[in-house]
Amino acid sequence: MATSESEPRIDGAAARPGEASAYSVEQREALVPLYRTMLLIRRFEEEAARAYAQGKIGGFLHLYIGQEAVAVGAEAALRRDDYVFQTYRDHGTALARGTSARACMAELYGKDTGCSRGLGGSMHFFDASRHFFGGYGIVGGHVALAAGAAFKAKYRGEDRVSVCFLGEGAINIGGFHEAASLAGLWKLPLVLVVENNSYAMGTPFSRSSPVEDITRKAAGYGMAGDRFEGHDVLLVRDRIAQAVARARAGEGPTLVEVLTYRFRGHSMSDPGKYRTREEVEERKRFDPVPLARARLLGWGIDESRLRALEQSVEDEVADAVRFAETSAPAREDVMRACVLAERASDAGGRA
Amino acid sequence: MRSIRYREAVREAIAEEMERDDSVVLLGEEVGHYQGAYKVTEGLLERFGERRIVDTPIAEAGFAGIGIGAALVGLRPIVEFMTWNFSFVAFDQIVQNAAKIFQMSGGTVKVPIVFRGPNGAARQVAAQHSHAVEPFYASVPGLLVVAPSIPRDAKGLLKSAIRDDNPVIFLEGETLYAIRGEVPDPSADELIPLGVARVAREGSDVTVVAWGRPYHTAMEAAERLAADGIACEVIDPRTIRPLDEETIVRSVRKTHRCVVVHEHWPYGGPGAEIVDRIQREAFDDLDAPVLRVSSLDVPMPYAAHLEERVLPSVERVVEAVRRVCYR
Ligand SMILES: Cc1ncc(C[n+]2csc(CCOP(=O)(O)OP(=O)(O)O)c2C)c(N)n1
């Protein structure tokens, strides 16, 4: 397990002694909604896994369970009009952006009411209205797209930032290298967030990279680099905020490596023989969701308040499942219409 | 004859050729320690060791190119794509290098390499993971394209592909891996030559050409049509390039009607190529236009019922056969 030198692990059990006084009341309050969103992602995906086992969801289902603090912390560092791109492990990112649990669950069920109208499925969530430009299935293929959104922001003189999440398995592929090369050269307002969850399918990071610290690549691309543990949502928020601030100020891209862990298999079909139960159990001590809860309690937030919030998450997820189950299936006419956008000539315009 | 699964047939071909020839080496993602994403290479790491069963990071252009480079100087690499969808990032290496070096070098440098992996749709894996790639590769001179439908062909053709001195695109199928079929004992060392079609079912009323998953769809349709008194002759070309035109045309001369069933999109590709050759070589023998049953002309949707709608189905094959038979 890789441990960053700059940021020693805190114990997952509780808040650090005397920590509460280091945070203002507002800062402490800010953790409440972040905890709620992490819990929403967790519970959403647990229900999705159940529906998958019942055959109600098909294809690949890559769960984000264990990594929630990354998407939620990053989102808290972003403005609503910033651009976001993610891999196929995209449920958490969409929910953090504010896409409804209903639209997400309906997508998994292949329903017309899904966020990609049942055409995309788990791997291809989109919510353009929230500037979430998708989950992508080809490793490394989306990194240049995020750089392209950053290019647009710079071109138009907007102070928007583009964030791209990718797995540590993506750092060897050409798509990553070429996108990073251009983003560094052109000082694009881009933040590359490598979610290093220790495994690319069954390949431990040590077998896919001869160098442990991914951010060492940043120098070669002319980027800033930052590397830290990803189980503390506030820390994730604050560190990514620094990268976002640099990008917004025109200082160019940052290569961020967040050390995290997925508690579930690569996808639902992964037998997971490449790691031990003990290893997974050990990592669960750093589960970001109970960690945030313990911290809130440690800060004196009322447990009854948390219970009410947790109940509201249960209700929201149950509602999403009901909505997905009762929604109309994805439509063939929509499938046929979604090959090309309407063209000027179709609309009676002149070619 | 014993019966084994398609994935075991592929594995046996790899193992036998590795046993026979130390220059055969396997490179790909999760082929070793993980035992293969689809368990095709299960046990090979234990048997041949890390020198010859090489787990690669996710870098298709890199390891495809390394395979080609090693082939130039004496190895006979097998490069596995976890699925053919991921070959597009290595397209440049395959098309610009593997397919061209023999010609560019005036015939002095050979490229004995096999690129293999599952092709086509699996189940509900949506737009980026469901390509039938044969149109892309079959259009390139300098490549051989093989698409076995049954275990025996998978084994015999793969052994021939590994021994061939040219780059071979070898298309398997996730939905084919579990299919069982008779395969001769390893002692038979059966090699099935590339470029020779197989008449899978004889019949006098209509020729049906199909490979890969749609081959099984076509066979099922033939069975159903037989009950209604329509006798299909099903031809599995097995190799897409070079195409065994002779066997197909001979059959059409006999039946006077033909339906081509394929998973790739309808625009061009091997499906259209086959129709073109039939109209040139057997125009006077035809009693009906040659029809094709293909995937619909859309990116693959996720929803199960739509995916089913997109892929060639038994019903659509039956309907096309009835149309060319005018009944
Ligand atoms: C170009 C390409 N090659 C192979 C794959 C198959 N594949 C899907 S996910 C994956 C592992 C990726 O691991 P990582 O980037 O670390 O992300 P994680 O799944 O851990 O989030 C592989 C090999 C792919 N999708 N794209």
> Does B204 fall in a domain?
yes
A33: Cβ–Cβ under 8 A, 6 or more apart, which residues?
A: none
Last residue of a domain, one of B128, B155, B188: B188
> Does A347 fall in a domain?
no
Quick one: pLDDT band at residue A13, thresholds 50, 70, 90? very low
CB B84 within 8 A of CB B118: yes
> According to the model, what pLDDT value does residue A17 have?
55
**Cβ contact A60–B125 (<8 Å):** yes
CB B194 within 8 A of CB B144: yes
Let me know whether B316 and B228 are in one domain.
yes
> Does A9 fall in a domain?
no
Q: Is the pLDDT score of A273 beyond 70?
A: yes
**Cβ contact A208–B57 (<8 Å):** yes
> Does A63 fall in a domain?
yes
> Does B130 fall in a domain?
yes
Quick one: pLDDT band at residue A344, thresholds 50, 70, 90? confident
Residue A16: strand, helix, or coil: coil
Q: For this structure, is B129 an active site residue? A: yes
* Tens-digit pLDDT profile for residues B67-114: 999 999 999 999 999 999 999 999 999 999 999 999 999 999 999 999
B67: Cβ–Cβ under 8 A, 6 or more apart, which residues?
A: B27, B77, B78, B79, B113, B115
Let me know whether B39 and B155 are in one domain.
yes
Let me know whether B38 and B138 are in one domain.
yes
**Cβ contact B124–A174 (<8 Å):** no
Q: Ligand 1: distance of its center to the CA of B316 in Å?
A: 35
Q: For this structure, is B60 an active site residue? A: yes
CB B12 within 8 A of CB B4: yes
A55: Cβ–Cβ under 8 A, 6 or more apart, which residues?
A: none
> Does B98 fall in a domain?
yes
> Does A16 fall in a domain?
no
Let me know whether B70 and B162 are in one domain.
yes
Give the pocket of ligand 1 (CB within 6 Å): A 87, 89, 137-139, 167-170, 197, 199-201, 266; B 29, 58, 60, 82, 86, 89
CB B317 within 8 A of CB B207: no
- Gap between the Cα atoms of B156 and B153, Å rounded: 5
In chain A, which among 18-47 make CB contacts under 8 A with chain B?
A: none
Let me know whether B69 and B39 are in one domain.
yes
The parent domain of residue B81 ranges over 3-188
A129 CB neighbour count, 10 Å cutoff: 10
**Cβ contact B301–A118 (<8 Å):** yes
The parent domain of residue A82 ranges over 25-339
Let me know whether B218 and B289 are in one domain.
yes
Let me know whether B239 and B296 are in one domain.
yes
Residue B207: strand, helix, or coil: strand
> Does A105 fall in a domain?
yes
Let me know whether B211 and B270 are in one domain.
yes
Q: A252 in the Ramachandran plot: left (φ > 0), alpha (ψ -120 to 50) or beta?
A: left
- Gap between the Cα atoms of B157 and B26, Å rounded: 17
> Does B54 fall in a domain?
yes
Using most ligand atoms within 8 A of CB, pick from B86, B115, B129, B174 the residue to mutate for ligand 1.
B86
B293 bridge partner residues? B261
Residue A308: strand, helix, or coil: helix
Let me know whether B243 and B223 are in one domain.
yes
The catalytic residue among B16, B129, B216, B319 is B129
> Does A346 fall in a domain?
no
Interface of B with A (CB under 8 A): 29-30, 33-34, 37, 55, 57-62, 85-86, 88-89, 123-129, 296-299, 301-306, 309-310
Let me know whether B10 and B144 are in one domain.
yes
The total number of structural domains in chain B stands at: 2
Token pair 């590994």: residue: B162
Let me know whether B173 and B304 are in one domain.
no
Domain of B122, CATH number, reads 3.40.50.970
> Does A325 fall in a domain?
yes
**pLDDT tens, per residue, chain B with 327 residues:** 999 999 999 999 999 999 999 999 999 999 999 999 999 999 999 999 999 999 999 999 999 999 999 999 999 999 999 999 999 999 999 999 999 999 999 999 999 999 999 999 999 999 999 999 999 999 999 999 999 999 999 999 999 999 999 999 999 999 999 999 999 999 999 999 999 999 999 999 999 999 999 999 999 999 999 999 999 999 999 999 999 999 999 999 999 999 999 999 999 999 999 999 999 999 999 999 999 999 999 999 999 999 999 999 999 999 999 999 998
> Does B79 fall in a domain?
yes
Let me know whether B156 and B104 are in one domain.
yes
> Does A249 fall in a domain?
yes
Domain of A330, CATH number, reads 3.40.50.970
- Specify the DSSP class assigned to residue A133: E
**Cβ contact B126–A207 (<8 Å):** no
The catalytic residue among B60, B80, B172, B233 is B60
> Does B228 fall in a domain?
yes
Residue B83's closest chain A neighbor by CA?
A: A138
Q: How many degrees, rounded to 5, is the angle at CA B311 between CA A53 and CA B209?
A: 135
* Tens-digit pLDDT profile for residues A164-188: 999 999 999 999 999 999 999 999 9
The total number of structural domains in chain A stands at: 1
CB B248 within 8 A of CB B209: yes
Residue B225: strand, helix, or coil: helix
A163 Cβ under 8 Å from any chain B Cβ: no
